[in-house]
Amino acid sequence: MSSFYANKPWLKQYADYVPSEFAIPQKSMIDIFEEVAAARPDAPAIHYFHDTISYGTLNEWADRFSSLLAENGVGKGDRVAVYTQNNPHFLIVVYGAWKRGAIVVPLNPMFKEKELKYHLNDSAAKVLVALDSLYEQFGRSVVPNTQVQVVVTCHESDFVSDISAVPMLEKTRKLPVTDTIDMITTLSEIQVDAVGRDRVAVEPGDIALLVYTSGTTGQPKGAMNLHSNLAFNAEVYQRWMQLEENDKVLGIAPLFHITGIVAHMCVAPLAGIPIVLLHRFDPEAVLNFTEKWQPTMTVGSITAYIALMNTPSAAIRNFRSMVKCYSGGAPIPPSIVENFQKKMGPYIHNVYGLTESNSPLTAAPFGVAAPVDKASGALSVGVPIPNCEVRILALEDPNKEAGVGEEGQLAAKGPMIFAGYWNKPEATEKAFHDGFFLTGDVAVMDENGYLYIVDRKKDMIIVSGFKVWPREVEDVLYQHPAVKEAAVVGVPDPYRGETVKAFVSIKDEYLGNVMAEEIKQFCKERLAAYKYPRMVEILDQIPKTTSGKFLRRELRDRTVNQ
C-alpha cells in the first residue's frame, strides 16, 4: 500500500480492489506503443464503426506520418496541433508526432476562429492536422495569422469501408480542399522502406502534450503533460480497473481531452487492447456499437451517461458488457448512479482528476459502491490513486490543513502532476504551494480516507453571507422526475449580494407538462431558505464543453445580459 494508506486498517477490506504503489514507468508513451505493435501486430488497436485497424497497421500509418513531419522540418519540441473528432487520424497524428519527439496540441473540434487562433498562436504550432470541414469553415481564415507552416487535412470517412452502413457519416462527403496535404493520399504514397528512419529518441521527462485547460473561468492555459505523467496514469487505470487482454475500451470521452487521451488512447496500448471509436458521441451509435463490439471499460462525463440512459431505445439495448464504467469531470448526483444501474445494468464508479493531474487523482475502488457524505449528500470520488499524496488545505490559510470532515482546498503531489503551464511561469508558481498542486476544488475527507468534492472554490455562491455550493442544489434538482440536466450558478442580487439560479433541461416525456415554478417549489421544500433557487430557467439544452462540463460562466453572463 502507498504511504497515504499506511496504518489505515479500514483499507484491508479493499485489498483486492485498490492497487499498491508501483515504480514510475521509465518509458515514454511512444516506446510503450511501439512495443505492443511489435509484439502483437495483428491484434486490433481500433474498432472504428464496422472496421478494424490492427496495432501493426496503426504503427505503420504513424511511421508514415512521422516521415511526413520529417520531410517538413518538424523536429523534437516542435508543436503539432490536431483538430479532429474521435477518429483514427487522431491516434496516427499523436503517435507519428511522438516518433519525431514533437509535442502534440489537441484542439477542441468545437473551436471556432477566435479559439482556434488563440490556441495555435499560444502554442506556436508548426503543423495543423484538421478535418477538412473544420479547416474550410474555421481554419483557412485563421492559419495565415499564425505560425503554422503545414496544413494536413483528413475526413471522418477515410477509414470506413462502407459509408452507407454508418448513418452518422452517410451524408458527409470528402471536400476537395486546396493548398493542403491530404493525409490519407500522401501517407499512402510514402515508400514503406523509408518509414521509421526519422525516429527520434524520446525520454520519459519530455513534454508529450500541451493540453489546454477548459477556459470556463478564464483564458485557457497550456498544461505541459510529460510522457512520464501519461505512462504513469495509464498504468494506474490499467491496475485500478484490472484491465486484461480480453477487455476493450469504449471511447466516449473526447480524445482532445486529457481523460480521452489517458483513459482511452494511452491505456489501450499499455494493456494491448482495442478502442472503439465513433467519430463523435451519439447515444444511439454508442448503444449500437456496444452491442457489436462488446467493450468493457470506459471513462466518460456524467452527461454522457445521462444521455445514454435517456435514449428512447436504451430500455431494450444490451449495455451489460460495460462492467468497468467510471465517470469524472463533474459532480455525480447519487440518484443518477442509482437510476443508471437500474436501467442499464452497470454501476458508475466515480473518478476525479484534472488536466494538470493527467486525469486520475482519486477514484472509487473498482467493484465497490462509493459512500455518500451524510452531511452534504455528495457521492465520494474515492481515495487517492497509488503514489499520490493529498492534503486538504484550510480555505483561509493554505499553510494549515483542514481536519477530518472539514472543507478545504484539495492539493496533491505525485508522478501524475504536470510540469507547469506553457510560457506562463507566474501562473505555474501560483498553481503550487509547498510542492503541492492546488486544484481549486473544495473537498472533504472522512475518517476512512474517502474524499468528497464539494465544488469548485470559484463557483461557491455567497447568499446573504451564507455559503451555497452549486452541487448540493443540483443534487436536489436531479431528484425531480422531469429534470434531465441541471446547472446552478450565483447571479447578482441587490439585497442578498448573490442569489441562486438554476438552469434545467427537461426529459422528453415531460416537455410542456412541467413549469419553472413547480421546480422551484420542489427545491424550496427540500432546501434551506437561502439555498433553494429563487430563479429557474428551462433550456432546451444546457451549454457545456465537449468534455461535459457545464459552462457556468456562460450561464452567469446569460443572466446578467438579459
DSSP 379-429: BP-BEEPTT-EEEEEESS-TTSB--TT--EEEEEESTTS---BTT-HHHHH
> Residue 472: phi, psi to the nearest 5?
-65, -40
Q: All domains of the chain, ordered by start, with CATH? A: 29-41+52-202 (3.40.50.980), 460-560 (3.30.300.30)
How much is the pLDDT for 156? 97
Are the C-beta atoms of 216 and 549 separated by less than 8 Å? yes
Distances (CA, A) of 296 to 276, 305, 454, 481, 548: 10, 15, 30, 29, 21
How much is the pLDDT for 557? 80
Residue showing cell 514510475: 24
Which residues does 147 contact at the CB level (< 8 Å), separation at least 6?
A: 120, 121, 124, 125, 126
How much is the pLDDT for 336? 87
Enter the C-alpha cell of residue 184: 490519407
Are the C-beta atoms of 97 and 125 separated by less than 8 Å? no
pTM, to two decimals: 0.84
The answer for 179, left when phi > 0, alpha when psi is -120 to 50, beta otherwise, is left
Helix (H) or strand (E) holding 283: helix 283-293
How much is the pLDDT for 475? 85
Nearest to 259 by CA among 162, 179, 361: 361
Tens place of pLDDT for every residue, the chain, 562 residues?
344 444 455 455 566 677 888 889 999 999 999 999 999 999 999 999 999 999 999 999 999 999 999 999 999 999 999 999 999 999 999 999 999 999 999 998 988 898 899 999 999 999 999 999 999 999 999 999 999 999 999 999 999 999 999 999 988 888 788 899 999 999 999 876 665 667 899 999 999 999 998 654 457 899 999 999 999 999 999 999 999 999 999 999 999 999 999 999 999 999 999 999 999 999 999 999 999 999 999 999 888 898 899 999 998 999 999 999 999 877 777 888 999 999 999 999 999 999 999 999 999 999 999 998 877 677 899 999 999 999 999 988 999 999 988 989 999 999 999 999 999 999 999 999 999 999 988 899 988 888 998 766 667 787 876 667 787 788 889 999 999 999 999 888 766 778 899 999 999 999 988 999 999 999 999 887 888 999 999 999 998 766 667 888 788 888 766 6
Are the C-beta atoms of 437 and 417 separated by less than 8 Å? yes
How much is the pLDDT for 14? 61
Q: In angstroms, how far is CA 562 from the centroid of its own chain? A: 32
In sequence order, the β-bridge partners of residue 363 are: 351, 383
In angstroms, the CA 287 to CA 166 distance is 14
* Strands 103-106 and 348-354, bridge-based pairing: unpaired
In angstroms, the CA 437 to CA 458 distance is 16
How much is the pLDDT for 3? 44
How much is the pLDDT for 2? 41
- Sign of torsion over alpha carbons 510, 514, 515, 519: negative
In sequence order, the β-bridge partners of residue 469 are: none
How much is the pLDDT for 196? 60
Nearest to 501 by CA among 466, 460, 470: 470
Distances (CA, A) of 233 to 295, 335, 350: 21, 29, 16
Which residues does 227 contact at the CB level (< 8 Å), separation at least 6?
A: 27, 28, 29, 30, 98, 202, 203, 204, 205, 206, 207, 208
How much is the pLDDT for 350? 94
- Provide the 8-state DSSP code for 200: -
Q: DSSP letter string over 212-236?
A: EP--SSSS--EEEEEHHHHHHHHHH
Distances (CA, A) of 444 to 370, 379, 380, 411: 14, 11, 9, 12
* Strands 466-468 and 461-463, bridge-based pairing: antiparallel
Long-range residue pairs from 424-430, CB within 8 A, at least 24 positions apart, any chain: 424/221, 424/222, 427/221
Enter the C-alpha cell of residue 498: 448573490
Enter the C-alpha cell of residue 150: 503545414
In angstroms, the CA 340 to CA 273 distance is 26
Alpha helices in 402-551 (DSSP H): 425-430, 470-477, 516-524
